[in-house]
Amino acid sequence: MQWQIDPNHTTITAAVKHMMLTTVRGGFGGATGVIDFDPAKPEAGGIELRIPAKNVNTHDEKRDAHLRSADFLDADNYPEIVFKSTKIAPQSKGEFTVDGDGLARHEVAQRRGEKEHGADQVLGQLHAQDAVEAPMRAEL
């Protein structure tokens, strides 16, 4: 089965350690994409998620503007963050591990340890180019 990811019913959230002392929480709105998934054959499925980089929201406009700048996301030149699955494998009843690549600023960041629960949640760790680990969650 194939589902279109509805931006009105999808939330991408992230939490990133800042200077190893505090955790900055935020997210992105407006994500779109496609889930192609058959629970009987999860390995044949795939996920493509597209996140508008300009929609970063950490509830601090100054920080958000800096994240959108060329120092981080460079949202003016690279408007989308894209995740494409490379492997889906069953873990336990109703849970699946999703591996794939995330692309931001045209640099590949690797996704590790994602779990999809009942085809409606994706959990995982984003290991970005600068070695920042950001737990991310997508609720669809």
Average pLDDT score over residue span 124-132: 32
Contacts of 46 (CB under 8 A, 6+ apart): 34, 35, 36, 37, 84, 85, 88
pTM of the model: 0.70
Q: With 50 as the cut, is the pLDDT of residue 45 above it?
A: yes
pLDDT per position as a tens digit, 62-100 = 999 999 998 888 999 999 998 888 888 888 877 777 888
Q: With 50 as the cut, is the pLDDT of residue 49 above it?
A: yes
Could you give all domains of the chain from N- to C-terminal order, each with its CATH number? 2-139 (2.40.128.110)
* Percentage of residues in the chain having pLDDT higher than 90: 29
Please give the structure tokens belonging to residue 64. Answer: 């958000």
Using alpha carbons, select from 69, 35, 70 the residue that is nearest to residue 50. 35
To the nearest whole number, what is the mean pLDDT of the chain?
Answer: 75
pLDDT per position as a tens digit, 95-114 = 777 888 877 765 544 444 44
Length of the chain: 140
